[in-house]
Structure 1
Amino acid sequence: MGEATPQPLFNTKKFHWTDAKSKSVTRPEDPYKYLAGFGNEHQSEFIPGALPIGQNSPQLCPYELYAEQITGTSFAATRATSMRNFLYRRRPACVHGKFTKIDDNPSVEASFLNPSLEVHNVPSQLSWSAFKIPDKAGGAVDFTMGIHTLGGSGQPNIREGLAYHIFAINSGMPNKAFVNIDGDFLVVAQEGHLDITTEFGHIYLQPSEICVIQQGVRFKVDLVEQHSPKGARGYIIETWGTKWELPELGPLGGYGLANARDFLFPTADIDTCSTGGWSIISKQGGKYYSTSQNHTPFDVVAWHGNYIPYKYDLTKFVYHNTVSVDHTDPCINTVLTAKSRDIHAPLCDFLIFGPRWDVAEQTFRPPYFHRNCASEFLARIYGPDKVGGRSEVFAPGGASYEASFTPHGNADERTVGAMYADMKAMRVGENQLTFMLESCRSLLFTAWALKDSGHLVAEDIPESIWDTLPDRFGKNEEAMALLKAMGRA
């Protein structure tokens, strides 16, 4: 990769991508070309003529390549849900040695079935300060060993559930590839720039961008040193037995929220520079296995299909909200959704909150006090170090969690101020970007999240915080007079 030239126009604190008035679909640091369109059939060839025409598996492929299929759904899936690809590569992926058990990443967990000694119920709130990027002086920590599980629900073996992880790395993956057999990774970049090599080509990922790498796809994560002097940090949402989709738009019509055209897919880019042997690390049931081969796993010259890693820039999100009265439920900010077996409750919704306008009139503008059936996990990508209230979010790189039906809302001086504020149009979320995961599941948490990480701030909000929410009704003279007249004072 050549050196990228940073451009101040693309400061992550901009209101929206359009503020930069760019004629490119990517930021200036990104050196790669992409295909656009969520859910599309795509095809790409690094060498012209490498894709067979009119069939998938000719007797002899162009340039004597090997045809190899990868399927992300069952063979008999409906046409609308079928996900698969044909890859045309120098050597089939089956050309490798025996898989052997290796030392696990001790802070990765994949089983969240109660009762268990490994994971724990938490009935209220958790908050973590910014997770530490490992010091390079302490040794190399690459993506395979830099993943740390916070919590989850279910198990990959039963194709049902999810896990929330953070990653913190200081090294790339020379001659090493990773493949997650358990499920799909949705990766959120928070600090540092990542050059992700996949079998389908490259994805360049930087803060406020996300990417999805599907189950069974081989990839490697390297640091872009110019923009990652200390390393990189971010979040991973792992889903089992379901795929990320765009939410339905309903009365919004054909456009809005995350538009399909803004999702970008890599183009074929065969690795011709690597030499020597390669290690392939496979995660299955949260355990690590390794095999070796004497050729690069990224030797795909051409491909076609719809089971492809992709990325999305969160600054392209099109916000919608009320233009009259009342606060809109947070689902209006859903970027992607992963369905569960319950058609009325998704396994996970990925939401974002960034700079936008609030114009609601005669309305308590902060989120109303609420108890949701959904659990809520929040993390700040950039912005102020701390925002108060029961839904506490600490510095960028940290996180907070609210269990299902735990009462929460804003519990500080801003609440009273919002009750008597001048109802003018105002900007909210200025200079910040936060994402939230809403799930129909209450999570079970790992010992690493609750103790070993050293970043747990509090298991609950102190009771004293509620002293800022007095009983104002009890001091209202009109209300007390009415109660007295009713014989209830």
Structure 2
Amino acid sequence: MTLEYMPGFGNDFETESLPGALPQGQNSPQRPAYGLYAEQLSGSPFTAPRGTNERSWLYRIRPSVKHTARFKPVTHNYWKTGPDHEEHELPLGQLRWDPLPLPSEGTTFISGIRTITTAGDAQGQSGMAAHVYVASMDMVNEHFFNADGEMLIVPQQGGIRIRTEMGIMDVNPGEIALVPRGMIFRVELLDGPVRGYICENYGAKFTLPDRGPIGANCLANPRDFKTPVAWFEEHDEPTHLKVKWCGRFYQTEIDHSPLDVVAWHGNYAPYKYDLSTFSPVGAILFDHPDPSIFTVLTAPSGEEGTANVDFVIFPPRWMVAEHTFRPPWYHRNIMSEFMGLIKGQYDAKEKGFVPGGISLHNMMLPHGPDAFGYEKATHAELKPVKLEDTMAFMFETRFAQHVTRFAAMSSTLQDDYIDCWSDLKKRFNGTPEGDWS
């Protein structure tokens, strides 16, 4: 379960779990050491420019093409794929949900995925889906890979162990993990039932955002992303292998563990990141910077500066601006915002938005602090304040996020969410001072 520093996105890594398993000087020798098979996993077209070309060479006990049965369709009724326009009667609006309850019956990570929104088109490789996962048991003799997109996993309650073809990652609340498109994995629970969020990214892969005028430092630094070292298991026993492909699910049987990669090298790999290592920047005199300064990862679209998906966090931080309304301001936005809370309170919504909960503010729908948060911020003494014990995040996309039937009909949907703004009162009284009583 050792992890190595990931020195930079796009760089090559190499790791072996047996000495000499990695061939030197060529990728696919006629007879690899230990009787292994050489196999390439590509995350980009072969002809992609060198800077964006992604591939890894895997040296494995059996090639992944070996399975003992044809693929057959299976169902996962709560996992939806964009475009999903399943009918329901929930009208357009600002929406918020309480946490999904933890499952009482046997539920694995894959069977416990519940789609909240979809956006864009998986077959067109654009957009995303936002899910919540709940699980109460390990995946046993069950493996999975997603051909529709990469999966950014955000634990909220309970830690998980992600066993992938390329190594093992233990991921706890306050950390994130990414499993690339097409990579086989299974998930085990570290300490009882779990809950968390998933961004299924159909488009270009997540990468670090450009820092622009910020310069060389701060935000998320490449050295803090860690990718696993080689690890393998040699289990000759039947297992299910499921795949998600163009929004449908299929299953085949194999007579061995597919996690049998003894060594690998390349730049297409899973990774994890500790959100506490994010170095925020902000205003130090007055005014309010855009939330884009909190972007950890971005999945670019074809339009410069407009993301297919951004992953944004709101971590503990000092706020020092003077003569400034400090919480997020009221706004309407071309981007659609799916928000979750990992722990603590969110400064713009201290009531009703709880850890494990969700809010959704779709494109051009107005949103901002509730009446309580507004009153507190406008009457606060302007001195340095540190937000502590908090971690909120946002999956933000250029596409409209369509609510699934499951989410629309969920008992956790807060029918009274819009009431949080009902006490915002008129302060205009015709004088420059206004009515701030």
Q: TM-score, normalised by structure 2?
A: 0.94
Note the C-alpha offset of 1:184: 0.5
Residue equivalent to 2:274:
313
Residue equivalent to 1:373:
334
Note the C-alpha offset of 1:97: 2.5
Residue equivalent to 1:292:
253
Residue equivalent to 2:20:
49
Residue equivalent to 1:14:
none
CA contact (8 A) 1:122 1:444 kept: no
1:78, 1:474 → 2: CA distance? 61
Q: Does 1:457 align with 2:426?
A: no
1:109-188 counterparts in 2 under 5 A? 109-112=80-83, 116-118=85-87, 123-135=92-104, 138=105, 140-188=106-154
Note the C-alpha offset of 1:332: 0.5
Could you list the per-position Cα deviations for residues 143-172 of structure 1 after superposition, in whole angstroms to 9, with x for gaps in the alignment?
Answer: 221111111112211212210011000111
Equivalent in 48, 56, 61 of residue 77 of structure 1: 48
Note the C-alpha offset of 1:37: 2.3
2:348, 2:286 → 1: CA distance? 24
2:336, 2:286 → 1: CA distance? 26
CA contact (8 A) 1:46 1:302 kept: yes
What RMSD in Å do the two structures reach over aligned CA positions? Answer: 2.0
Q: TM-score, normalised by structure 1?
A: 0.85
Could you list the per-position Cα deviations for residues 111-148 of structure 1 after superposition, in whole angstroms to 9, with x for gaps in the alignment?
Answer: 326xx34478853211110111101xx3x211221111
1:398, 1:467 → 2: CA distance? 21
Runs of 4+ deviating beyond 4 Å: 118-122, 386-389, 477-480
CA contact (8 A) 1:125 1:459 kept: no
- From the superposition, tell whether residues 443 and 478 of structure 1 become closer, same or farther in structure 2 (CA, over 3 Å): closer
1:16-55 counterparts in 2 under 5 A? 31-39=1-9, 40-55=11-26
Note the C-alpha offset of 1:475: 6.0
1:262-281 counterparts in 2 under 5 A? 262-272=224-234, 274-281=235-242
Q: Does 1:473 align with 2:409?
A: no
Q: Does 1:382 align with 2:348?
A: no
* Structure 2 spans left out of the alignment, 5+ residues: none
Residue equivalent to 1:18:
none
Note the C-alpha offset of 1:426: 0.9
CA contact (8 A) 1:126 1:459 kept: no
CA contact (8 A) 1:189 1:233 kept: yes
> Which AA in structure 1 matches 2:380?
A
Could you list the per-position Cα deviations for residues 73-125 of structure 1 after superposition, in whole angstroms to 9, with x for gaps in the alignment?
Answer: 00110101000010001111111123333431100111326xx3447885321
Residue equivalent to 1:418:
377
Higher Cα Rg: structure 1 or 2? 1
> Which AA in structure 1 matches 2:139?
M
Note the C-alpha offset of 1:240: 1.1
2:139, 2:371 → 1: CA distance? 45
Note the C-alpha offset of 1:458: 2.5
- From the superposition, tell whether residues 151 and 459 of structure 1 become closer, same or farther in structure 2 (CA, over 3 Å): farther
> Which AA in structure 2 matches 1:61?
P
1:217, 1:50 → 2: CA distance? 21
Note the C-alpha offset of 1:285: 2.2
SS of the residue corresponding to residue 153 of structure 1 reads: strand
Note the C-alpha offset of 1:296: 1.1
Residue equivalent to 1:212:
178
SS of the residue corresponding to residue 347 of structure 1 reads: strand
Which piece of structure 1 moves more, 311-320 or 56-65? 56-65
Equivalent in 393, 396, 401 of residue 360 of structure 2: 401
- From the superposition, tell whether residues 460 and 423 of structure 1 become closer, same or farther in structure 2 (CA, over 3 Å): closer
SS of the residue corresponding to residue 373 of structure 1 reads: coil
2:23, 2:175 → 1: CA distance? 34
1:205, 1:355 → 2: CA distance? 20
For this pair of structures, how many residues does the alignment match?
A: 434
Note the C-alpha offset of 1:414: 3.6
